[in-house]
Amino acid sequence: MSAFRVGLSADFTRADGKPTFPSYDLTPLARDGVELIQLPRAGVLSAQQVASCDAIVLLGERMTASSFPPDGRLALVARMGVGYDTIDTDACTAADVALTITPDAVRRPMASAQVCFILALTHNLVAKDRITRTGQLGWPARLDYHGMGLVGRTVGSVGVGNIGAEMFKLLKPFDVRMIAYDPYADPARLAELGVEAVSLETVFGQSDVVTFNCPLNDETRGIGSASMISRMKPTAYLVNTSRGPVVDQKVLYDALVARRIAGAAIDVFDPEPPSADEAILRLDSVLTAPHSLGWTDQMFATMGDLNRGAIRDVMTGHAPANVVNRAVLDRPGFKSKLATRARR
């Protein structure tokens, strides 16, 4: 068998040839005899594009059942971040390919991004920035933009995974009431965090800030629905850093225009990227970021560490950490791939 070959997402390199994420570094693998190649730029990877790779590292590309080459060489898809709705996990398992994510890399950066949004909304930061730039004549308008104090207010979350738990840890010093809806959360873990488990209706109805910390799947798609958003207080804010389709974007827009809620902060959209004439982008009550508010040098450095570890594990015949499709670990085909590499 030839050298261990790792295909890298085309998103790693900018049009000018410079690295997109300078702190993300896989070059130490070259010292282990790993051959790093750049994959073609594609919305959906084809089997031909992935052929001859032992592992691939992806950011924005999608993989469907037709993306897996028949040569049976591919053993690892290392997904940057924690979202994997772009990857057909069942197809990964059927092809004896492990899918890994990097939860430890995004936990703190994404939690701090949520807190950033919450503080910016409740302090009317954007409006006050705009007022400041108008000069002496505009300053009296600041009287119309008192913020919302957080002490004793309620912050609710739809889902409490790693990022949601970290968000609640960061919010503790603000003396907020913390509630969450997550049918899969460990009650003992929630109690340890000081988070009250409640119904989905309660999260929307009682929260002063509603946040989303759930993956995108059949259960969560559109969970921020018309019936739920209609329950929100007129003074409440909505923060979405999860995935765009978990919130009905048109319903959210209508609620903001009608001033049925106070504002929103959105790092993710449906579709993504949104068009330049997307109506919600024109609202002064909305803060936005291009699905990158949590991006930091530390995030990508840690992603590099975790992806290098997963690649080295597979290359040396060991099962990697943070596998999404755990069933693959017991499949004879995947075990055979690891055994072959261990013998090398």
Model pLDDT for residues 189-202, shown as the tens digit of each residue:
999 999 999 999 99
Task: Phi first, then psi: give them for residue 187, nearest 5 degrees.
Answer: -55, -35
- Annotated catalytic residues are 243, 272, 291
- Tally: H helices and E strands in the chain: 11, 12
Residue 342's pLDDT is what?
86
Q: Where do the H-state alpha helices sit in the chain?
A: 47-50, 89-94, 103-122, 125-132, 162-171, 187-193, 200-206, 226-229, 249-257, 297-315, 332-343
Q: Is there a contact between 88 and 109 (Cβ–Cβ < 8 Å)? A: no
Residue 68's pLDDT is what?
95
Write the CB contacts of 69 (distance below 8 Å, at least 6 apart in sequence).
Answer: 47, 48, 50, 51, 52
Domains of the chain with CATH codes: 5-101+296-343 (3.40.50.720), 105-288 (3.40.50.720)
DSSP letters, 91-104, are HHHHTT-EEE--HH
Q: What is the mean pLDDT of residues 322-342?
A: 95
Nearest to 87 by CA among 76, 99, 96: 99
Q: Is there a contact between 99 and 324 (Cβ–Cβ < 8 Å)? A: yes
Residue 225's pLDDT is what?
97
Q: What is the mean pLDDT of residues 219-225?
A: 96
Asked if residue 209 has pLDDT above 70, the reply is yes
Residue 31's pLDDT is what?
85
Q: What kind and span of H or E run contains 156?
A: strand 154-158
Q: Is 27 helix (H, G, I), strand (E, B) or coil?
A: helix
Q: What is the mean pLDDT of residues 216-238?
A: 96
Q: How many CB atoms lie within 10 A of CB 131?
A: 18
Model pLDDT for residues 116-152, shown as the tens digit of each residue:
999 999 999 999 999 999 988 889 989 899 999 999 9
In whole numbers, what is the pLDDT of the chain averaged over residues?
94
Residue 343's pLDDT is what?
80
Task: Phi first, then psi: give them for residue 175, nearest 5 degrees.
Answer: 55, 45
Residue 1's pLDDT is what?
53
Model pLDDT for residues 62-119, shown as the tens digit of each residue:
999 999 999 899 999 999 988 888 999 999 999 999 999 999 999 999 999 999 999 9
Q: What is the mean pLDDT of residues 321-336?
A: 96
Write the CB contacts of 183 (distance below 8 Å, at least 6 apart in sequence).
Answer: none
**Cis check: omega of the bond before 273, within 30 degrees of 0:** yes
> Model-level pTM?
0.89
**Integer Cα distance of 189 and 264 in angstroms:** 28
Residue 2's pLDDT is what?
76
Looking up tokens 């460990």 gives 186
Asked if residue 20 has pLDDT above 70, the reply is yes
Residue 56's pLDDT is what?
96
Task: Name the more confident of 338 and 342.
Answer: 338
Q: Is 238 helix (H, G, I), strand (E, B) or coil?
A: strand
